[in-house]
Chain A
Amino acid sequence: MEIGLNHYLVLSTILFAIGLVGVMRRKNLLLLFFATEILLNAVNIAFAAISHYYGDMTGQMFAFFIIAVAASEVAVGLGLLIVWYKRHGSIDLDVLTTMKG
């Protein structure tokens, strides 16, 4: 019953697949952002597990920078989303197809 690196990698893969399903089936942009957060967190678990099982700090450092990137992505993305909602009254992906030829 020893938990090894592979357990964590399989868990990370399952979470990543859930996030991908979310990205593909969601139409609401806010919920698409949620799915993106799931993707980032799944990768973070893998980084932390590798960092632990190899006795190396680099994995944790990368996890920190991923968290920083996620935080700034949310700030800018929500700002853009609010601007879009004020202009069009909807954040569905279908409304964004304004560049049809």
Chain B
Amino acid sequence: MFEAVAFYLFAFLTITMFIITVTTSQALYALTALAAGMIFISAFFFILGADFLGAIQIIVYTGAVMALYAFGMMFFDTTRSVKEKQGNKFIITGLSTLAAVLVVLIVGAPMVSNNIVALYPTIDGMGNVQNVGLILFTKYLVPFELAAVMLLVAMVAGIVLAGKKMDRSITLTNDAELEIEKNKKVLS
């Protein structure tokens, strides 16, 4: 009973937040609603008994990713409202429905066959974090190390890409100065 109430409550909240994210014309509202939706999604992980995943969801998504977006938005002109793509509404709706049905088929196909056995079953009497640690550091050690290298590469790429010409502002310099610099670059 408690589980059902929690599930429906958080399902409603999550769907509402994500609909706000994709429909609002203010970038700041979208960011805030997305952060709230991430927190609500972690509630599902806690209901499902995946405690470690829920904690990681809060730390990584709402802590790191959302903060990164918030800092990134300082570079962009997000005060004006966002223009929308003027496409055919029916095509968009039809494609979305088709893709969603496809996802259901893909996820639901193994259940129809009904002969799935757990590859790495959870061990009773051990907490979720212990189970995660046991499997992550034995069966998934190589992907774990590769993920670490990937995060390092992403960090270096982020620094190199965003750190270029950090010393000059693009909003405070007026157009005339930019024009002069452009001409200098052409001449040299």
Task: Write the residues of chain A forming the contact surface with B, with a CB cutoff of 8 angstroms.
Answer: 1-3, 5, 7-22, 24-28, 30-31, 33-35, 37-38, 41, 44-46, 48-52, 54-58, 60-61, 63-65, 67-76, 78-83, 85-86, 89, 91-93
Question: Are A83 and B50 neighbours in the complex by a CB distance under 8 Å?
Answer: no
Question: Are B14 and A15 neighbours in the complex by a CB distance under 8 Å?
Answer: yes
Which residues does chain A contribute within 8 Å of B179, judged by CB atoms? none
Cα–Cα distance between A31 and B151 once the two chains are bound (Å) = 23
Most chain-B CB neighbours within 10 Å: which of A5, A9, A35, A64? A64
Cα–Cα distance between A9 and B82 once the two chains are bound (Å) = 32
Which residues does chain A contribute within 8 Å of B151, judged by CB atoms? 68, 71-72
Task: Write the residues of chain B forming the contact surface with A, with a CB cutoff of 8 angstroms.
Answer: 1, 3-4, 7, 11, 14-15, 18-19, 21-22, 27, 30-31, 34, 37-38, 41, 44-45, 48-50, 52-53, 56-57, 60-61, 64-65, 68-69, 72-73, 75-76, 78, 82-85, 87, 92-93, 95-97, 99-100, 103-104, 107-108, 111, 116, 118-122, 131-132, 135-136, 139-140, 143, 147, 150-151, 153-155, 157-162, 164-165, 170
Can you add 9 more A-B contacts, CB < 8 Å, to A26-B22, A56-B121, A72-B150?
A26-B82, A27-B85, A34-B30, A45-B41, A48-B45, A68-B151, A79-B161, A86-B170, A89-B170
Partner of B18, one of A27, A30, A38, A46: A38
Partner of B157, one of A10, A11, A71, A79: A79
Question: Are B60 and A67 neighbours in the complex by a CB distance under 8 Å?
Answer: yes
Question: Are A74 and B65 neighbours in the complex by a CB distance under 8 Å?
Answer: yes
Which residues does chain B contribute within 8 Å of A73, judged by CB atoms? 154
Cα–Cα distance between A60 and B44 once the two chains are bound (Å) = 13
Interface pairs (5), CB distance under 8 Å: A44-B41, A48-B53, A60-B52, A61-B136, A76-B154
